[in-house]
Structures are given as structure tokens and as C-alpha cells.
Chains A and B, each alone.
Chain A
Amino acid sequence: MSDTKKSVFATFGVVMAIGAVYGGVKVREKADVGSLNKATSELSTSHMVASRSNDVNVPAGDYFYELSLKLKEQYVEPVTDDQKLASGAIRGMVASLGDPDSLYYDKDQFRAFLNARVGQYEGIGAELVLSFDHEKSGAKTAPAGSGGESSPDEALVSVRDIPELKVVSVVPGGPAAKAGIKVGDVVDTVDGHWVVQSGLIRQFRIASRKFLEKKLSRVELETQRAVLRKKFDKAIYPSKAKDKLFLGKSGIVNVTWIRGDTTFTTKIAKAPSRLPGFTISGDTVALPFIEGSADKLKAFIQGKNSITIDLRNNTLGDVQVMKQCLEVLAPKGNYGYFVTKRHDSPTALNVLTGNSHPPKVHLITDRSTRGMAEAFALALDHSGLTDKEKLELGGDRFARQIIQLPDGSGYTLVTSAYQVTAPKANRGQAVVAKKGAVK
């Protein structure tokens, strides 16, 4: 090799080496910051802590990474389970929505939830929801931290909202059904533990106010206080109470229920139970919105001019299956909308090909007809495909996404609410207003 050649080669080598170092630095920057915008590129890793510059919107992912790192470096015990941290963070975010229909489920809860969606129940064999319905009839509530001037009277009766635990469907022949539990029953105590309710606390507030206004004697107030204290001594949150009733295939639970103005106590042995699923008897079909239902429905309606669809105990139906069933039963056209409270356009529930010779449909519904079953019933009813009998429904028209996490836990997220007519700006909000009340 000539000297010239050698030096050219050496120079090339040096340039390559410098290039490689530079390239390494650049790639590293990209690796750390990812596709984040420029403003944040300076804070990549470990610079986030112990700085006090002006308000900076740190991207959530970086935040998560930094905090987990900080915990690993500083926490008194070794922190090794990143998954636990992620699930905890997701749990925190979902809980912050304050929405009883958007919930985080731990591994056990999520398994039971997924099984219940296909009709397989454990526990007492009933679908239970956290419900704020009682708040509607209660005294006016001022949301915590609402600010502004409020009269002392209002302050006296405002209580932080705690949902009640309510039965929305009962598996026929299951443990709860055998014990006589009905849709609408509210859980008062489980194994002697009072399920915390804001209603009773509010009642006490009102009593205290009456006492101050000298409309109630001290003895009566003290009696009420004693009752409340005693309940609080052995109390559990509604979500915990739900676990005790909804999870487990054996064991006995003692439950006190509230039905209207009466209370009654039951002793229920937990056991597996299941909904009948897609069941035909004569011209009647029980139609759950689970995989395969649409095909079976298609076969069932062959050659029939009128059918009866039983939508009872249909609470957790799948939105896609519901749409498929609508395709089977209804002619091409629009069947309502999924609306949100965002400034976005609603998603139309359209039947694309449909059935040009639909059978006449008679619907059997009750308060255990909820979610997508309720939307389905309303869609059919509104378009004149049914015999227009008055429908009893559960009052839940929310569409939910279900997201599973790698550790077996998961969460639901309410994404929209169904309504039959085209949303005008104000009407759309009226339907979704419930979510606002929950917050």
C-alpha cells in the first residue's frame, strides 16, 4: 500500500470513527426522547428531578419512567415489579374519572368480569353495579371543591358521593335467584359489614341541621349519631362488597338487602351459575350478544313472519355482536347514534346491507336489559320493527371499551352513549348528562 493510500485510508478511518461517535450520540437522543416534540427533548432522562424551571408539560410516558426510576433508586425496599407500578398508575387514572361504569379490575375481578360477559357467573350469580341513582332523589349535592360562595345550609347536607351497590340482573336458578334476590335490590351489609352509603350520612347531616334549628331533640340526634357510628365501625366500600358477592365459587355470605322501604337478610352459598345463552323455545329466542349469536339468529328467523326476542339478563353485551344482530333483523338504514360529550361528530349506528324482509319483532325486556341490549331494543323499537309495546329498560345506554393488561388485570372505559335520534347540540348533551353528574 502506498503512503498516500495509507493516509487516505487512515483519514477515512478517523472520519468514520468520529461519525460513529456523533451518530451514537444522536441515536441515543432519539432513543431517550422518542418522537416527543422539541421542547421536551432537553429533559430526557434523570434531568427531570431536582430542577425548578418554569411550568413544563412533561409527557406522561417520561413522567412514568422518571417516577418509577426514582422509586427504584430511593424507596426503602427494592422495587422490581414494573408491571405493578403500571397497573397502579392505570388504576389511578381510571379511578380519577369518578365514573362507576369506567372501572379498573384487578386480575381476579377482571377474570370474573370477562366470564360474566359470556354468561358464566361465580359468587352469588348476579350482576352488581355501583350506581349513583340514589343521588338523583337525594338532596342537592355540591361537588367537593366546587368553590364559590355557598350557604351554610347547603354545606351542611353536601356529602361526597359514594355509589350504592345494586343488583341489575340475576342469573335464573343461580344462588341469588334461589335466595329471592331481584333486580333493583341494594346491598346494605355483607357479613356484618355495612356498605358505606352517602344517603345515610346525608340523612344525619339533615338531622344535625334540624337539631341546630331546634326542630329535633338532642336525644334523637344522638341516637342517629350512635347508629351511624356503629355502622362505620364495621364498614366496607361498595367495590369491596362487590368482590365479596361477585367473586369465588364456594363459601357462604350473609347479606342484608334493601328493597324499597324494607330490608331483609339472606344467607347465600356461592356457586358457579350460568345464563342460558342463546336459547330457542318455539318462536321465542333468548338473545345474548356474545360470539356466534348473530349466525344463530339468522338461522332462527328463516321462514318466520314474527318472532319474540328475550333481552332480559342482557347487561354486558358486545357492541359488535349487537350490530351484527341488527344487520340480521333490520333493513338498511340508520338506527341511531353513539354520541359523546366531546366536540366530535356522533358515530351513526347504520345497517349496511340488512334484511329487506324483516320479521315482526316482539321484545321482552325488563330492568336487566342494559347497555348494548338496551340500545338494540331502542333501535328496533324506534324504527317501527317491533309491536311498539312499552319497553322496560335498565337505563344504561353506554358503550364501553374493554382493555386487558398483560398481568391479567384490565379496565373498562365508557366511550359513548347511544341515542335513537340525530343529535342536535343540546339534545346530545342531555342524554350524556349523567356522566357529568357522576364527576
Chain B
Amino acid sequence: MSKGLRAFGYTGLILGCFAFGFAWPDLQHGKLPNTRSVNALFGVKSGAAASPEQQFSHAYSKILTDYIQPVDSTNLKYAGMEGLMAALGDPHTMFLPPVAAEAFNDETRANFGGIGARLGADQLGAKIASVFDGGPAAQAGLKAGNIITAVDGKSVTGKEIDDIVSTIKGKEGTIVRLTVIQSDKPRPVVITIKRARIIAPTVDSKYLSKYQVGYVTVSSFSEPTADQFDKEVAKMETHPLKGLVIDLRDNPGGLLDSACDMLSRFVENKLVVKMKFRDGREESASTIPGFLHQFNYPIAILINEDSASAAEIFSGCMHDYGRAKLVGTHSYGKASVQNVFPLIDRSSAKITIARYYLPITPYFGRKVDQDGVFLTGGLEPDVKAELDPVTVIDPDNPKTDNQLWKAIQLLNPSGAATP
């Protein structure tokens, strides 16, 4: 062997050892080194321009050092991460800074107390949509339509409804002070309420005798929902029925299993959703046999932009299997599954890892622009009806709720036509 060749061999061996050492952190995990590390070794800067990571770091330090006033570096970093995740245009893939991350955990652990009321967004704060019978809010005299403007003395005007709800929720047995506008009082009053464990009723019903239509409201899909639904349907079926309205407006969803249980009343052994992951893996959920119920009347489902997730899966399947007509406005478009990845500084990343596909309806996931403004998505109703924004809904007069009224007209045209 020539000396030159031997020297070449040795050099190669030494370089190989070096490469092994360099790659060791990854080889331990059974991977090859990532290009970022290799590029850093050779001083490569990803072509002529700065790498995206360098651009980010550059902008970050520029804002910190050059902006006209001091900027909090942690908040700036988090704002950057929120922007990074928002660039995907998926409203459910988001960065959760430490505070928000903890709130999310509490929600999923569900060991919190509440006041026993359902809240909706309002210009002035949070409007009470309904009060649960016998709950703390009901006992304190709160009523639907009251507006909460401050919690524990701190104004909540202009805050997101989710944020307001999370400040009202708290440990069971603790006290919360609410500043409330009640229409019968000249000035806002402060009401003190003890938080308690709340089991929210999810199904409610009302027989609209004038039109012979059953009206069942499902406010979310939790474990007892399907059973509660059976009971309310049974109540309705003691009356003559020309049709049934299932109101899923403002229903944010809940458990997929619960939606499957509900659907099992209508169809047997049918696909509910297919979940598709990025690696091509698929999982599916189906209705279960033995719960089929004979609905001898047409069904209409009310949806709006706040009908989401399990509510959309339920309505979408009912539509796809020809069991119901959808009435209202397009739904939210929550057709995906998220996973929360905790990060080292107690913040976390919520990332969409899979998508739901309905039996027939094509993918209906919501798309937004970078300001969060709705672009496309959601289920399209069979009968479009925008809620008249001006009319105040009188629960005793279905005509004041023009979406409900459209559904009644659909189910019992002759009944609706009689004066």
C-alpha cells in the first residue's frame, strides 16, 4: 500500500471518529444530526440570505434594543411564538404562554367550581344566557339577560368571554364578587356568590303545542347528554308531533363519544367520523347498535357559527345520513384534534395533529386570516337563516326567533301558516 493512501485512510478514520462524536447526541436517539447543527458546523447560512431563525433572532434583538421604549423580552418572545403559530392559518394551532397554559390544564382536569350559569359575549362584559336551576347563581338572584361587568372589582368589559369565564370559575367553596347590570335596577349591583361544583344540564325541551313541534335544546355534549336527550324526547312524544327541532346553536361541542351515543339513536353501525393523522394513520368512530329509536317525524337541527366540534359532527352525520335538515348559519368549522405539548418554561404549544372527516360532507375545517378573521369552513345549512339582530327573542313566541321559526315552517308548513 502506498504511503499516501495509508495517510488518506488514517485521515478518513480520524474524520469518521470526529463525525461520530458530532452525531453522538442524535445517535443516542437513533437519529442522524439535523441540518441545523451540521450547517452551524460548517458556518453555512442557508444560502445568501439569513436563515429564518436568524431573521427572527435579529428582529427580536432589534426590537429589544432599538424600539423607542423598553419592551419586555419575555412578552416579545411569546408574541413572536404566537405569530409563528398563527402563520399556519389554523385557529386551533396556537402558542399558549404560561398563564394561558395553566388555565387550559385546569379546564381539562375539570376540578373547578362555578356559579351555575351559562355566559355569552356582550359589549359590556358577559351576558348571562341561562341560569341553572338550584345553582349558586340562581340562589343569588341572577337571571338570564343580566350583564356581568366586573369580577372581584376588576372590570371585564372588552375582555374575551373565555377569559371572563375563567376568572369567574375557581375553587369550590371560594367567594366571587360580581358587578352586575340588572334591567330592573338603576345602577350596577355587586353580588357575592359562593362557587360550587356544577353539573350542568345539557338538554332542555319545550313542546310548541301551537305548531305541534317538539323543541329540544342541547347545549353541549357531555357524558349524560344522550340519556338526558332520551328523556326529553320521551316527554315530547307524549304529545302529537309533526316534527322535532334540535337546537345546537352556541353548542361548543364536548365529547366525541357523547355525539356517537346520540347518533346511535338515529343510525346503527354507521361511520361517524374518520380521523386522519399526518402520517396517513386513520382512526374512526361509529355508532353503536342497540339504541336505535323510531323517529316517525321529520327533524330539523339549528346551527350557528358557535356550533362547534361534537355539535358539528352530530349535525353533519344527521345531514349526511339524511336524518335531518340543517337550519341557520354556517357552523364554526372545528374539524380537528389538538394535542398540547408542554414547553420548558411552563408555556405550551397546542397543535392540530389530526382532522375529522364526516361520512359524506367534505372537510369543513375553519380557515382564518392572520387577524383571525373567518375565511372558510363550517357546515353549510340546508336552509339559510340569519338571526335578526334587532328583535329581542321572546322564549314564549317562536316567531321572534326567526331561525327557529324557519325550522318550524320546514317541519310543519300548514301549522306554521295558520294564524
Interface residues in chain A, defined as those with a beta carbon under 8 Å from any beta carbon in chain B: 13, 16-18, 20-28, 30-32, 34, 43-53, 55-58, 60-61, 63-68, 70-71, 74-79, 82-97, 102, 142, 144-145, 147-150, 152, 154-156, 158-160, 201, 204-205, 208, 212-214, 222, 225-226, 229-230, 233, 237, 239-240, 340-342, 398, 401, 403, 405-406, 411, 413-417, 432, 435-436
Contact = CB atoms under 8 A, between A and B. Distances in A.
A18 B18 CA distance: 9
Point out which of B67, B75, B390 has the most chain A C-beta atoms below 10 A from its C-beta.
B67
Given A76-B353, A229-B389, A414 B68 contact: yes
B352 A406 contact: no
B36 A65 contact: yes
Contacts of B240: none
A95 B86 CA distance: 12
Interface stretch (B48-56, B226-234, B244-252, B257-265): B48-56
Given A25-B22, A77-B278, A150-B153, 10 more contacts: A21-B24, A25-B21, A44-B25, A58-B343, A88-B87, A89-B56, A93-B83, A158-B155, A226-B389, A435-B69
B103 interface: no
B22 A24 contact: yes
B88 A158 contact: no
A78 B353 CA distance: 11
A312 B71 CA distance: 34
Nearest to A16: B14
- Nearest first, the 6 A-B pairs at minimum CB distance are A92-B83, A24-B21, A88-B87, A96-B79, A86-B52, A155-B155
Nearest to A225: B390
5 contacts: A21-B18, A61-B53, A90-B80, A90-B83, A411-B59
B2 interface: no
Contact of A95 (B60, B83, B351): B83
B84 A102 contact: no
B56 to A, nearest CB: 5
Contacts of B166: none
Point out which of A25, A51, A201, A222 has the most chain B C-beta atoms below 10 A from its C-beta.
A25
A69 to B, nearest CB: 8
B210 interface: no
Contact of A50 (B49, B73, B342, B351): B342
B154 interface: yes
A18 B20 CA distance: 10
Contacts of B63: 93-94, 97, 413
Contacts of A30: 40
A369 B276 CA distance: 58
Contacts of A47: 344
Contacts of B186: 212-214
A23 B22 CA distance: 8
Given A31-B41, A76-B353, A436-B69, A67 B81 contact: yes
B40 A25 contact: no
Contact of B81 (A74, A89, A159, A411): A89
Given A28-B24, A49-B341, A96 B353 contact: no
A28 B154 CA distance: 51
B57 A60 contact: yes
Nearest to A30: B40
A185 B381 CA distance: 42
A86 B55 contact: yes
What is the interface residue range for chain B against chain A?
A: 35 or more
Given A24-B18, A76-B354, A201 B123 contact: yes
Interface string B93-108: 1010000000000000
Contact of A150 (B13, B69, B124, B155): B155
Nearest to A160: B158
Contacts of A212: 181, 186-188
B181 to A, nearest CB: 6
A56 B345 contact: yes
A103 B93 CA distance: 24
Interface string B178-190: 0101000011100
Given A16-B14, A22-B21, A92-B80, A83 B344 contact: no
A88 B370 CA distance: 9
B277 interface: yes
A82 B54 CA distance: 11
Contacts of B75: 96
A25 B24 contact: yes
A24 B67 contact: no
Interface in B161-215: 179, 181, 186-188
A76 B338 CA distance: 9
Tell me the dominant secondary structure on chain A's binding face.
helix
A213 B49 CA distance: 62
B341 to A, nearest CB: 6
Contacts of B307: none
B62 interface: yes
A27 to B, nearest CB: 6
A159 B389 CA distance: 21
A413 B76 CA distance: 14
Contact of B84 (A22, A24, A64): A64
A48 B80 contact: no
B149 A155 contact: yes
B77 A83 contact: no
Interface in B135-157: 149-150, 153-157
B37 A31 contact: yes
B40 A31 contact: yes
A17 B21 CA distance: 10
Contact of B341 (A74, A156, A405): A74
Nearest to A211: B183
Contacts of A406: 49-50, 55
Given A96-B76, A152-B179, A75 B69 contact: no
Contacts of B351: 70-71, 74-75
Nearest to A83: B52
Contact of B66 (A74, A96, A204, A415): A415
A156 B149 CA distance: 8
Nearest to B183: A212
Contact of A102 (B67, B188, B336): B67
A156 B16 CA distance: 71
Contacts of A26: 21
A101 to B, nearest CB: 9
Contact of A90 (B13, B40, B59, B149): B59
B188 A152 contact: yes
A154 B19 CA distance: 66
Interface string B5-46: 000001001111111111111000100011011101100000
A151 to B, nearest CB: 9
Nearest to A33: B40
Contacts of B82: 92
Contacts of A342: 68-70
B330 interface: no
Contacts of B154: 147-150
B346 interface: yes
B284 interface: no
A333 to B, nearest CB: 25
A45 B155 contact: no
B373 interface: yes
A71 B85 contact: yes
